[in-house]
Structure 1
C-alpha cells in the first residue's frame, strides 16, 4: 500500500500529514486545538481538517462556532456526523433532531440535510462510498 499525505499550504505551512497508510493514528484533541488557533477560525464561523482519506472513506474534524449553518444540501456519498462537543440541530426530510456529544446521525447518499451549531461544537464528519 502506498502512503498518501497532504501538501502543506499557506494556511498550514507545517500541515504535511499522513492521510492514508496501512494505519493512521489521529490525535483528535490536538487537531481540534489546532483548528481553533488558525487564522481561519478567527475569520470564519468554522474550520476543518481532513484526518483520513482513502478511495472509499474521508474523515474530517470540524469546529463550528455557535450559529454556524451548513445549508440544506446532499452529497453523492453516505455521510456520518458525530458530535464530539457542543450541540447540533440537524434538519432532514421535514424532521428536526438535536445531537449532543456521543450522538451521531448517518445519511444515505442523496439525502438532503442542514446542520446548525446550537453552541460552539466539534464534530467528526465521515463520508463513504455506498
Structure 2
C-alpha cells in the first residue's frame, strides 16, 4: 500500500499528515486544538479537518460553534457520527436525536439529514463508501 499524505497549505502550514497508510494513528485532542487555533474557527461558525481518506472510507473531525447548522444533505455511503465534545441535534425526516459526548449513531446512505450544534461541539464523521 502506498502511503498518502496531504500537502502544507496556508490554512495548515504545519502541513504533512498521513491520510492513508497501512496504519494511521490520530491524536484527537491535538486535532481538536489545531482546528480551534486555525483562522477558519474564528472567522466562521465551523471548521473541519479530514484525518483519514481512502478509496472506501473517510474520517473527518468537524467542529461547530453553538448554533451552527449543517443544512439538510445526503451522503453517498453509510455514515457514523461520534460526539467527542459538546451536544448536537441530528435530524432525519422520520426522527430527531440529540447526541452528547460519548454517544454516536449510524445512518444508511442517501438519507437526508441535518445537524445543529446545541453548544460548541466536535464530532467524528466516518463515511464508508461501497
TM-score for the superposition, normalised by structure 1: 0.96
Q: Distance between the aligned counterparts of 2:75 and 2:126, measured in 1?
A: 12
CA distance in structure 2 between the partners assigned to 1:10 and 1:49 by the alignment: 14
Cα deviations across residues 36-92 of structure 1 (Å, max 9, x unaligned)?
Answer: 000000001111111111111100111110001000111211111110111000110
Matched with 1:119 is: 119
Within-5 A mapping of 1:16-55: 16-55=16-55
Structure 1 vs Structure 2 CA RMSD: 0.9
C-alpha deviation, 1:94, in angstroms = 3.2
SS in structure 1 at match of 2:119 = coil
Give the secondary structure class of the aligned counterpart of 1:29: helix
Consecutive unaligned residues in structure 2, runs of 5 or more = none
Counterpart Cα distance in 1 of 2:22 and 2:9: 25
Q: 1:69-88 to 2 correspondence within 5 Å?
A: 69-88=69-88
- Consecutive unaligned residues in structure 1, runs of 5 or more: none
How many residues in Structure 1 have an aligned counterpart in Structure 2? 130
Is 1:95 the counterpart of 2:67? The answer is no
After TM superposition, the runs of 4+ consecutive aligned structure 1 residues lying more than 6 A away are none
Counterpart Cα distance in 1 of 2:48 and 2:115: 15
